């Protein structure tokens, strides 16, 4: 099994509200279609310019406060359902049965970390040769009332449960740099060495932590998977190369 994360900066221009790169998502789907169904996949996508601006506008991360926060909670969720629908349709055009599963319906968080998850629907989808399609979303939170559950947090939870062979993060840059911008691409790094990295830089609005959070997640992921890849999802065949293990990007190893 392989888990693929389509970053919000890949499927949209985060600087343009409700922008969607349908051509990019269709090409990503085509690359996955080369390996499916012989290889099983779970796909998780970020919020991009659909979820992040709304989550910031309504202060979702500040928790449940008043009617405005409830209104924003619903509006943000509806935006993510819209985005998931668009992604799913791009996959269907490549004969891939990507089935959207609402993350807010199966995960409960505590200050943004998943503490409860019902994965029966994900397991059923995999068993019946669908591609489960999950996404960063709002969540009901034990401490704050409402919160955001990020795509990266979802991937970490899924990896602990399903033990995939690899996780591939699709980004809008070639991988992880020692300094961004202007640094050098890190081709390979051990999970334990991530603590020594000091990376900065993320374009657009991201309310879920950006690249720093992804590295923290990667450090945890390599306890459960063999390889974690960071590759450029905007460049043709980078995903395919990472799937076969000969990627151009950054690979994190145990």
How many domains would you assign to the chain? 1
pTM of the model: 0.93
pLDDT attached to residue 199? 59
Residue 190 lies in a domain: no
Residue 10 lies in a domain: yes
Q: Burial of 119 by CB count in 10 Å (0-12 exposed, 13-18 middle, 19+ buried)?
A: middle
Which residues, at least 6 apart from 9, have a Cβ–Cβ distance to it below 8 Å?
46, 48, 171, 172, 203, 204
Residue 41 lies in a domain: yes
pLDDT attached to residue 182? 72
Residue 212 lies in a domain: no
> pLDDT digit string (tens) for 2-41?
999 999 999 999 889 999 999 999 999 999 999 999 999 9
Q: Check if the beta carbon of residue 228 is closer than 8 Å to that of residue 167.
A: yes
Residue 152 lies in a domain: yes
Tell me, what CATH number does 230's domain have?
3.40.1160.10
Residue 213 lies in a domain: no
Range of the domain at 55: 2-173+225-249
Residue 197 lies in a domain: no
Residue 202 lies in a domain: no
pLDDT attached to residue 198? 62
Spans of the chain below 50 pLDDT = 201-209
């Amino acid at each position: 099994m392989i888990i693929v994360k389509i970053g919000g900066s890949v499927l949209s221009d985060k600087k343009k509200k409700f922008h969607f790169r349908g051509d990019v998502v269709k090409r990503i789907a085509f690359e996955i279609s080369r390996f499916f169904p012989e290889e099983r996949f779970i796909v998780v996508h970020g919020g991009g310019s659909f979820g992040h601006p709304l989550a910031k506008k309504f202060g979702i991360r500040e928790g449940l406060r008043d009617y405005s926060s409830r209104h924003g909670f619903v509006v943000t969720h509806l935006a993510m359902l819209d985005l998931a629908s668009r992604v799913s349709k791009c996959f269907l055009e490549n004969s891939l049965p990507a089935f959207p599963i609402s993350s807010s319906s199966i995960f409960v968080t505590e200050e943004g970390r998943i503490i409860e998850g019902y994965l029966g629907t994900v397991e059923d989808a995999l068993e019946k040769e669908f591609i489960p399609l999950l996404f960063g979303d709002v969540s009901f939170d034990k401490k704050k009332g409402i919160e955001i559950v990020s795509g990266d947090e979802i991937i970490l939870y899924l990896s602990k449960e399903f033990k995939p062979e690899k996780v591939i993060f699709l980004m809008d840059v070639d991988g992880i740099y020692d300094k961004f911008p202007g640094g050098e691409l890190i081709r390979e790094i051990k999970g334990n060495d991530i603590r020594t990295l000091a990376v900065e830089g993320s374009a657009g609005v991201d309310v879920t932590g950006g690249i720093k959070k992804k590295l923290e997640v990667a450090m945890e992921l390599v306890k459960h998977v063999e390889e974690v890849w960071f590759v450029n999802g905007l460049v043709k065949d980078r995903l395919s190369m990472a799937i076969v293990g000969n990627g151009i990007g950054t690979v994190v190893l145990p």
